[in-house]
Amino acid sequence: MEPGGEEKQLGGRKLGRVVFTVEQVRARVRELGAEISDAYRTEDRLLVVGLLKGSFIFLADLVREIALPLHVDFLVAASYGASTVSSGDVRLLYDPASSLEGRAVLVVEDIVDSGTTLKRLLPRLQARGPTSLEVCTLLHKRVDGGEPAPRWVGFDAPNEFLVGYGLDHAEDFRHLPYIASL
Note the pLDDT tens digit of each residue in 40-93: 999 988 999 999 999 999 999 999 999 999 999 999 876 655 544 544 566 666
Domain boundaries, the chain: 45-78+86-181
If one looks up domain 45-78+86-181 in CATH, what number appears? 3.40.50.2020
Res 145: pLDDT: 62
Res 168: pLDDT: 92
User: Does the pLDDT value for residue 9 go beyond 70?
Assistant: no
User: Does the pLDDT value for residue 7 go beyond 60?
Assistant: no
How far are the Cα atoms of 70, 71, 74 from residue 44, in angstroms, in the given order? 8, 10, 19
Query: What is the pLDDT confidence band of residue 2, given thresholds at 50, 70 and 90?
Result: very low
Res 126: pLDDT: 95
Res 49: pLDDT: 96
Return the closest-CA partner of residue 163 out of 175, 177, 179.
179
Res 120: pLDDT: 85
Res 1: pLDDT: 46
- Of the candidates 113, 144, 156, 168, the residue annotated as catalytic is 113
Write the DSSP assignment of the chain as a string of letters: --BT---EEETTEEE--EEE-HHHHHHHHHHHHHHHHHHTTT-S--EEEEEETTTHHHHHHHHHH--S--EEEEEEEES-TTSSS--S--EEEE---S--TTSEEEEEEEEESS-HHHHHHHHHHHTT--SEEEEEEEEE---SS-PPPPSEEEEE--SS-EEBTTB-BTTBSTT-SSEEE-
How far are the Cα atoms of 8, 64, 73 from residue 84, in angstroms, in the given order? 19, 31, 27
Note the pLDDT tens digit of each residue in 110-154: 999 888 888 888 998 999 999 999 999 999 998 766 567 899 999
CA gap 129, 127 in Å, rounded: 5
Whether 113 is a known active-site residue: answer yes
Res 103: pLDDT: 96
Res 67: pLDDT: 96
